[in-house]
Amino acid sequence: MTSTVTLAHRICPFCEACCGLELDLEAQQVVRIRADPHDVFSAGFLCPKAIGLKDLHADPDRLRTPLIKRDGQFVEASWDEAYAEIERRLPPLIAAGGPNAVATVLGNPTSHKMGLLLYFPRLARALGTRNMFSASSVDQVPKMLSVGLMFGSWLSVPVPDIERAQFLLILGANPMVSNGSLWTVPDFRGKAKALRARGGKIVVVDPRRTETAAVADAHHFIRPGADVYFLLGIAHTLFDEQLVELGRLAEHTAGLAELDAALRSFSPESMAARCGIDAATMRELARTLAQTRHAAVYGRIGTCTQQFGTLCSWLIDVINVLTGHLDEEGGSMFPKAAAFAANTRGAPGSGRGISSGRYRSRVSGVPEVAGEIPLTCLAEEIDTPGPGQIKALIAIAGNPVLSAPNGARLAAALDQLDFMVSLDIYVNETSRHADVILPGLSPLEEAHYDVTFTQFSHRNHARYSAPVLARAAGQPEEWESMLRIGAIAKGLGAQADIGALDDATLEEDVKKIAGPAAAHVLAALQPLRGAERLLELGLRSGPYGDQFGAKPAGLTLDKLKAAPSGIDLGPMGPRIPEVLRTASGKIELAPQMLLDDLARVTADLQAPVPELVIIGRRQLRSNNSWMHNLPVLAKGTYRCTALVHPFDASRFGLADGGAARINNGARQIEVQVEISDEMMPGVVSLPHGWGHNLPGTQMNVAAERPGVNLNALLDENLRDPLSGNAVLSGIPITMAPL
């Protein structure tokens, strides 16, 4: 018997690199996964996680049917039963407590799923709650706030133009392992190698000598949480040594004199001791940045998850501006996404800017940023009684019991809720608390377009993946579930005609965008439904779009579908002033809120140096908390180890491979020690996302080697006060052998 192998294409949804894959299918089974050599963006790159798509699809623990908790046990239910249960329990809580009685919490995969991302705003609109939480506030909110203040929209994040750069300074990021973040850059290794082959240099600043440091020209240890001192030292030097050269941007910036004045007291000489990098190095780096034609500074999660996250995020772009590298070829540039970019909508060049703190969280009074309350406030908003208390939670594609600080408190709080729905594909540490779980599809069963990561791609492109395999009859897509929950919340009932609701909302939106052309646009969109229809709208009305016929050569979804390896839209080009949406129409170099925060930096300068602190790390074969259940990725040596410098090992009596206890005050975890001179003395590194030993989860492979939860050690009350982002890095600990 012969069987035919067919070829399918799919963008990998696991991390921000968004690699294009080729899949061989035989009898509705994936038999092989490899990189798509023709992909216009990733050009034949993949990492080991891609193979996990097959295991994920086959995983017996992956949910295919809704679950309802009855007498403390999950039982399988039909979709109708699950929605009916939501209808029975959710509306009364809204009626009693008002819209804020329901909270939503979004996890990381939301950004990798076009249905979740494009339809969550509709659910949010239906709920009308201010209690919205997400992984953004244990991640990139500081960067969103700083670029929002400087450039006027939350996602106008400039990214290094790595293919034309000659010098890169990388802080708090490990793209060799993470494959890049807020910088979609598949095959960082190949691109770094090419940069060095053309005579360029890469310098890494990190408390650990990382895999990225290994492919760089130089590496400097920095004291965790002290990047702000290092960046201030560099920015100060640029003024001090008259290296500031705004070039073309001079007429597009505001606040240069204020910035100069504010930076005067932060000389590298006075910053060196606190950050652990000597003044000469800071000055030399400032000169190299200023004097290299094509150069960029890039910082990521290590620079965000600390008490000065917003200041660090700001200073990185400030240095890029001061050295004339912002918006310049080979510098730090603004991608122009084919769809859904706020910075390509509205009038170019100026706008309303952003604002934060429009309201505050009920318990701690923490300001809203980008419409969200920090994830670290979720537990207290549930477990603190009083008017406005959260009574119901809709959790979407996230696992905050493991991924947020002090998950134990959050877990206990989730048990106090009157009702919880999880949209998740597993019964994990978080969804085990739900009353109803609605499973999403396998990535192979749904269409895909990178709504988020095209906003941060080092080269502009558009790619679409059709569903590779058919889904089970009756299994809804997640956008449908979100519409249905929204309808239930609005009192329209579980049987509401969500198709008609979706049409009505679309019509409203199109009228806003297209004005008199709305009827024509709606007719053109007619055959499509759901997320695909929004994608078609986004592409055709976007900066490369056919404008519904007005520019016939422009992009449409059909054209994208006809190009399985994607459509290249060219390298990033200059976008200032067009990209700006600040009220002034200028790059705001010195937002008052940030200048004011420098007082906190000065106050902290004299803070005593803790003897030992802990930081996190990522690992190639896992993704945050949820890929430990895939056998192909979970196998191999035990990876959830605490990396300890030999000096610390000897002073605390720790043995390689031995067990140790780590304490942060009363909080305590037990870890396996791995002695490594990769670490800066005084710094321990433990990956996050582990700790799969909590009762009631159904992730059998992960449970075999559960690892330890770093976040069990961390304090949910430590935040960057501007952005509300959690402080996850540089936490003082003690460590002793067991």
Ligand X SMILES: Nc1nc2c(c(=O)[nH]1)N[C@H]1C(S)=C(S)[C@@H](COP(=O)(O)OP(=O)(O)OC[C@H]3O[C@@H](n4cnc5c(=O)[nH]c(N)nc54)[C@H](O)[C@@H]3O)O[C@H]1N2
Site residues, ligand X (CB under 6 A): 15-16, 107-109, 113, 135, 138-139, 171-175, 177-179, 181, 205-208, 210, 222, 224-225, 227, 300-303, 305-306, 396-400, 403, 423-426, 428, 440, 478, 615-620, 622-626, 685, 688-689, 710-711, 714, 728-730
Neighbouring C-alpha atoms within 13 Å toward the C-beta of 52: 23
Q: CA of 558: how far to CAs of 391, 466, 535, in Å?
A: 44, 11, 11
Using CA atoms, how far apart are residues 237 and 373, in angstroms rounded to an integer?
A: 37
Total number of residues that touch ligand SF4 (CB under 6 A): 12
Based on the shown chain and the rule CB under 6 A, indicate whether residue 47 belongs to the binding site for ligand SF4.
Answer: yes
Q: Count the neighbouring beta carbons within 10 Å of the beta carbon of residue 246.
A: 17
Shortest distance in whole angstroms from residue 622 CB to ligand X: 6
Q: Of 281 and 305, which CB lies nearer to ligand X in the complex structure? A: 305
Based on the shown chain and the rule CB under 6 A, indicate whether residue 535 belongs to the binding site for ligand SF4.
Answer: no
Based on the shown chain and the rule CB under 5 A, indicate whether residue 161 belongs to the binding site for Mo ion.
Answer: no
Shortest distance in whole angstroms from residue 709 CB to Mo ion: 17
Shortest distance in whole angstroms from residue 697 CB to ligand X: 10
The residue number with the shortest CB distance to Mo ion is 139
Based on the shown chain and the rule CB under 6 A, indicate whether residue 15 belongs to the binding site for ligand SF4.
Answer: yes
Interface positions, 677-706, toward Mo ion (CB under 5 A): none
Q: Of 580 and 714, which CB lies nearer to ligand X in the complex structure? A: 714
Report what 389 binds from ligand SF4, Mo ion, ligand X, none; CB cut-off 5-8 Å by kind.
none
Which of the stretches 9-17, 590-598, 632-640, 711-719 binds ligand SF4 when contact is defined by CB under 6 A?
9-17
Would you state the structure tokens that stand for residue 547, as one six-digit string? Answer: 């404008």
3-state secondary structure of 711: helix
Shortest distance in whole angstroms from residue 125 CB to ligand SF4: 31
3-state secondary structure of 251: helix
Shortest distance in whole angstroms from residue 595 CB to ligand X: 22
Using CA atoms, how far apart are residues 296 and 169, in angstroms rounded to an integer?
A: 6
Q: Of 141 and 594, which CB lies nearer to Mo ion in the complex structure? A: 141
Shortest distance in whole angstroms from residue 425 CB to ligand X: 5
Q: Of 182 and 311, which CB lies nearer to Mo ion in the complex structure? A: 182
**Scanning the structure block, which residue is given the tokens 């040594």?**
241
Is the Cβ–Cβ distance between 18 and 453 less than 8 Å? yes
Q: CA of 484: how far to CAs of 169, 471, 493, 504, in Å?
A: 47, 19, 8, 14
Closest CA to 556 of 525, 531, 530, 513: 525
Report what 172 binds from ligand SF4, Mo ion, ligand X, none; CB cut-off 5-8 Å by kind.
ligand X
Report what 12 binds from Mo ion, ligand X, ligand SF4, none; CB cut-off 5-8 Å by kind.
ligand SF4
Shortest distance in whole angstroms from residue 121 CB to ligand SF4: 25
Shortest distance in whole angstroms from residue 219 CB to ligand X: 11
Query: To 5 degrees, how large is the angle CA 620–CA 625–CA 626?
Result: 85
Would you state the structure tokens that stand for residue 165, as one six-digit string? Answer: 């750069």
Is the Cβ–Cβ distance between 677 and 644 less than 8 Å? no
Closest CA to 427 of 707, 624, 694: 694
Residue-wise DSSP of 417-459 = -SEEEEE-SS--TTGGG-SEEE----GGGS-EE-TTGGGGBSE
Based on the shown chain and the rule CB under 6 A, indicate whether residue 627 belongs to the binding site for ligand SF4.
Answer: no
Maximum Cα–Cα distance across the chain: 79
Based on the shown chain and the rule CB under 6 A, indicate whether residue 17 belongs to the binding site for ligand SF4.
Answer: yes
Among 22, 55, 59, 139, binds Mo ion (CB under 5 A): 139
Shortest distance in whole angstroms from residue 18 CB to ligand SF4: 5
Shortest distance in whole angstroms from residue 207 CB to ligand X: 5
Which of the stretches 41-49, 150-158, 307-315, 688-696 binds ligand SF4 when contact is defined by CB under 6 A?
41-49
Interface positions, 181-210, toward ligand SF4 (CB under 6 A): 186
Is the Cβ–Cβ distance between 537 and 508 less than 8 Å? no
Report what 564 binds from ligand X, Mo ion, ligand SF4, none; CB cut-off 5-8 Å by kind.
none
Edge-to-edge strand order for the sheet containing 20-26? 5-11, 20-26, 29-35
Closest CA to 727 of 367, 413, 376: 376
Q: Of 332 and 344, which CB lies nearer to ligand X in the complex structure? A: 332
Q: Count the neighbouring beta carbons within 10 Å of the beta carbon of residue 508.
A: 10
Q: Of 170 and 485, which CB lies nearer to Mo ion in the complex structure? A: 170
Among 23, 30, 46, 594, binds ligand SF4 (CB under 6 A): 46
Report what 379 binds from Mo ion, ligand X, ligand SF4, none; CB cut-off 5-8 Å by kind.
none
Q: Of 219 and 459, which CB lies nearer to ligand X in the complex structure? A: 219
Would you state the structure tokens that stand for residue 61, as one six-digit string? Answer: 């623990």
Based on the shown chain and the rule CB under 6 A, indicate whether residue 141 belongs to the binding site for ligand SF4.
Answer: no
Would you state the structure tokens that stand for residue 462, as one six-digit string? Answer: 């558009």
| Terminal Cα-to-Cα distance of the chain (whole angstroms) | 60
Shortest distance in whole angstroms from residue 15 CB to ligand SF4: 3
Q: Of 151 and 426, which CB lies nearer to ligand X in the complex structure? A: 426
Q: Write the burial class of residue 359 (CB in 10 Å: 0-12 exposed, 13-18 middle, 19+ buried).
A: exposed
The residue number with the shortest CB distance to ligand X is 302
Would you state the structure tokens that stand for residue 322, as one six-digit string? Answer: 């001061």
Report what 479 binds from ligand SF4, ligand X, Mo ion, none; CB cut-off 5-8 Å by kind.
none
Shortest distance in whole angstroms from residue 626 CB to ligand X: 4
Find out whether the peptide bond into 367 is cis, omega within 30 degrees of 0: no
Radius of gyration of the chain (CA): 25
Among 8, 18, 614, 669, binds ligand SF4 (CB under 6 A): 18
Residue-wise DSSP of 455-505 = GGBSEEEE-EE--SSPPPTT---HHHHHHHHHHHHTTS-TT--HHHHHHHH
Using CA atoms, how far apart are residues 430 and 417, in angstroms rounded to an integer?
A: 13
Is the Cβ–Cβ distance between 146 and 153 less than 8 Å? no
Is the Cβ–Cβ distance between 598 and 310 less than 8 Å? no
Closest CA to 118 of 419, 536, 514, 525: 536
Based on the shown chain and the rule CB under 6 A, indicate whether residue 49 belongs to the binding site for ligand SF4.
Answer: yes
Which of the stretches 10-18, 470-478, 493-501, 664-672 binds ligand SF4 when contact is defined by CB under 6 A?
10-18
Would you state the structure tokens that stand for residue 247, as one six-digit string? Answer: 């070039």
Total number of residues that touch Mo ion (CB under 5 A): 1
DSSP H/E element including 596? helix 592-604
Q: Of 186 and 545, which CB lies nearer to ligand SF4 in the complex structure? A: 186
Q: Of 61 and 163, which CB lies nearer to ligand X in the complex structure? A: 61
Shortest distance in whole angstroms from residue 302 CB to Mo ion: 12
Q: Of 10 and 540, which CB lies nearer to ligand SF4 in the complex structure? A: 10
Q: Of 183 and 419, which CB lies nearer to ligand X in the complex structure? A: 183
Based on the shown chain and the rule CB under 5 A, indicate whether residue 16 belongs to the binding site for Mo ion.
Answer: no
Going by DSSP bridges, is the β-strand pair 734-737/731-732 parallel, antiparallel, or unpaired?
A: unpaired
3-state secondary structure of 24: strand
Among 8, 12, 149, 311, binds ligand SF4 (CB under 6 A): 12
Shortest distance in whole angstroms from residue 377 CB to ligand X: 15
Among 50, 170, 722, 726, binds ligand SF4 (CB under 6 A): 50
Interface residue list for Mo ion (CB under 5 A): 139
Interface residue list for ligand SF4 (CB under 6 A): 12, 14-15, 17-19, 46-47, 49-50, 179, 186
